Amino acid sequence: MDLTPARPLPSDAALKVAVILGSNREGRFGPVVAEWFLSRTAGHPDIETDLIDTADSEPPSVPRPVGIEARLDRADAFVVLTPEYNHSYPAPLKHLIDRHRTEWQAKPVAFVSYGGISGGLRAVEHLRQVFAELHVVSVRDTVSFHQAGTLFDDRGALKDPAPAEAAATRLLDQLLWWGLALREARARRPYGG
Ligand SMILES: Cc1cc2nc3c(=O)[nH]c(=O)nc-3n(C[C@H](O)[C@H](O)[C@H](O)COP(=O)(O)O)c2cc1C
């Protein structure tokens, strides 16, 4: 199924994708996955990314950070990078999701997951339920790294890049299709959900 736009988009019409890094613990593996994913979108003619790191978000006692609110609002689409913790996704990610509402609505989300044996798949299934409540469409295809620590070398490069690169291409094609379709739809008729 070829989902690529019929023609390259004008440069000012690139899909704005907020890439959200879901883990924030000391010594986390997340930045390796983030760097890999951003290497897949770098140079993509139709996609512009903005990395939002949950490590930079504020504790619950602090009022909602305006900067992150504006960045989520500006985004046409989201990619969540999530590890799996105890069969679900990390608490800082839930915190970031719950602090915002209309910023998410009527936009698509895609998932890049990683973990031990599960590759983060259970975290992704939980996230699909959460995002449905926020009127977010989750795209079907994911990238998942099982036993992630063993798949990358010391420089953060994948030892066998082809399968993950093919999965990332499918994910981005689907995200782009939904992202452009929903952006046009929101412009025509504001989402009332
Ligand atoms: C608290 C905790 C719970 C975990 N639970 C699971 C799990 O249920 N399933 C799994 O496959 N991996 C699990 N792992 C392994 C992590 O998914 C893996 O170490 C991942 O790299 C963690 O991401 P991070 O380093 O970016 O925080 C767990 C790790 C931690 C720290």
Candidate of 33, 53, 54, 85 to mutate for ligand 1, largest count of ligand atoms within 8 Å of Cβ: 85
Candidate of 28, 82, 84, 124 to mutate for ligand 1, largest count of ligand atoms within 8 Å of Cβ: 84
Ligand 1, atom 19, lies closest to the CA of 115
Q: Which segments of 14-139 does DSSP mark as H helices, in order? A: 30-41, 66-74, 91-98, 121-133
The tens digit of pLDDT for each residue in 141-161 reads 999 999 999 999 999 999 999
Assess whether pLDDT exceeds 90 at residue 35: yes
Q: What ligand 1 atom has the least distance to the C-alpha of 115?
A: 17
| Residue type, position 30, single letter | G
The upper half-sphere exposure of residue 100, i.e. CA atoms within 13 Å in the direction of its Cβ, equals 23
Which of 54-68, 79-93, 95-109, 172-186 comes out lowest in average pLDDT? 54-68
Tell me how far the alpha carbon of residue 146 lies from the centroid of ligand 1, in angstroms. Answer: 11
Confidence of residue 71 (pLDDT cuts 50, 70, 90): very high
Taking the whole predicted model, whether its pTM rises above 0.85 is answered as: yes
Assess whether pLDDT exceeds 70 at residue 110: yes
Q: Is 92 in the pocket of ligand 1 (CB under 6 A)?
A: no
Tell me how far the alpha carbon of residue 28 lies from the centroid of ligand 1, in angstroms. Answer: 9
Mean pLDDT, rounded, of the chain: 94
Confidence of residue 63 (pLDDT cuts 50, 70, 90): low
Confidence of residue 5 (pLDDT cuts 50, 70, 90): low
β-pairing, 137-138 with 15-21?
A: unpaired
Q: Are 145 and 121 in contact (CB under 8 A)?
A: no
Tell me how far the alpha carbon of residue 113 lies from the centroid of ligand 1, in angstroms. Answer: 11
Assess whether pLDDT exceeds 70 at residue 64: no
Q: Are 82 and 120 in contact (CB under 8 A)?
A: yes
Give CA angle at 105 (100, 110), nearest 5°.
95
Q: Is 23 in the pocket of ligand 1 (CB under 6 A)?
A: yes
Assess whether pLDDT exceeds 80 at residue 6: no
Among candidates 97, 52, 80, which has minimal Cα distance to 142?
Answer: 80
DSSP element (H, E) containing 90:
none
